[in-house]
Amino acid sequence: MDFPEMSIPNESSMSLMENMLIVEELEYDKELLKTKHEKLVTHMTDEQKNVYESVMNDIDSNGGRLFFVYGYRGISKTFVWITLSSKIRSNGDIVLNIVSSGVTPLLLPGGRTTHSRLSIPLSLNKDSTCNISQGSDFAELIIRIKLIIWDEALMIHRHLKLWTKP
């Protein structure tokens, strides 16, 4: 499978950052993604453009809102995720594309399962939390993220808690 928007990390960018998780998320070909984004936006329906603009306006204003986008299979939600991802990455920012299960990670650029990306235990109970340590490379990555696209979020186990209250 070909992933043309990814580029090979160069030594200068790797030496500036020791956190390889951040380096990996920033090594997209920004010019290629900008061109891809411009093309994708022209094919959006009014409803898709409304979702896209709402999310982008919130990101641009550092709003930190949570959006829940739902709809039947086949209405091109993945198309909206790809368009958002290409815009954010073309700006040199970080977006994580995650999915609870299935083959969708293969459809989203840089997509991974929630268990893989968020260190979710495979066996969950009411006291389970993700294994993310304060000050870790992954914690630093989370701080830099502009958007997390979580496809099929409702498919996650009911006992999962992403954080605990201090």
Quote the pLDDT of residue 162.
53
Three-point CA angle 81, 110, 59, nearest 5°:
45
**pLDDT tens column, 109-160:** 777 777 677 777 777 777 777 777 889 998 999 899 999 887 765 556 555 5
pLDDT (average), residues 18-34: 92
- CATH at residue 56: 3.40.50
Quote the pLDDT of residue 16.
47
pLDDT (average), residues 8-12: 52
**pLDDT tens column, 65-119:** 878 777 666 668 889 989 999 999 999 999 988 877 666 556 677 777 776 777 7
Q: Residue 145: inside a domain, yes or no?
A: yes
pTM, whole model, 2 decimals? 0.76
Rg (CA), the chain: 16
Residue 165 in this model has a pLDDT that exceeds 60: no
**Which residues have a Cβ under 8 Å from the Cβ of 128 and sit 6 or more positions away?**
120, 121, 159, 160, 161
Q: Which of 41, 145, 32 is nearest to 83 (CA)?
A: 41
More confident of the two residues 89 and 18: 89
Q: Residue 166: inside a domain, yes or no?
A: no
Structural domain tally of the chain?
Answer: 1
Question: DSSP 3-state assignment of 91?
Answer: coil
Contact 164, 128 (CB under 8 A): no
Q: Residue 165: inside a domain, yes or no?
A: no
Q: Residue 124: inside a domain, yes or no?
A: yes
Residue 52 in this model has a pLDDT that exceeds 90: yes
Q: Residue 112: inside a domain, yes or no?
A: yes
Output DSSP code: residue 153: G
Quote the pLDDT of residue 69.
77
Range of the domain at 114: 11-155
Q: Residue 23: inside a domain, yes or no?
A: yes
pLDDT (average), residues 34-55: 95
Q: Residue 164: inside a domain, yes or no?
A: no
